[in-house]
Amino acid sequence: MTQLIFIGTLLGGILSFVVALFLTRQTWRPDVEPFGRRSSILQIALHPERFANPERLGEIRFLNRIGAALLCGAAVALAYEVVSFVL
């Protein structure tokens, strides 16, 4: 059961971050350098207001927070599995 929770939260978190990045790229501000190889994905996720228009900023932030929470849930499920294995 723990493995299912781990995989579900991990995939959900990754999917949430990918959708948030997609929305950010769809609403990219014209005064910012276009998205490319040198764009930092972490900076885009942490500070979407620097890159996206304000019209979808609330959705992007919400998706990033959900993604972070789900990835933390996956880490907790993994830690629980490790602790239960050791004990």
pTM recorded for the entire structure: 0.89
How far CA 70 is from CA of 8, 11, 21, 28, 77, in Å, comes to 9, 9, 16, 26, 10
Whether 69 has a pLDDT exceeding 90, the answer reads yes
For the chain, the structural domain boundaries read 2-86
* pLDDT tens by residue, 6-30: 999 999 999 999 999 999 999 999 9
Those residues whose C-beta lies under 8 Å from the C-beta of residue 29, and which sit 6 or more positions away, are: 51, 52, 53
| Dihedral, 41, 12, 22, 44 alpha carbons, nearest 10 | -20
Give the chain's mean pLDDT. Answer: 94
d(CA 83, CA 16) in angstroms, rounded, equals 28
* pLDDT tens by residue, 37-52: 888 999 999 999 999 9
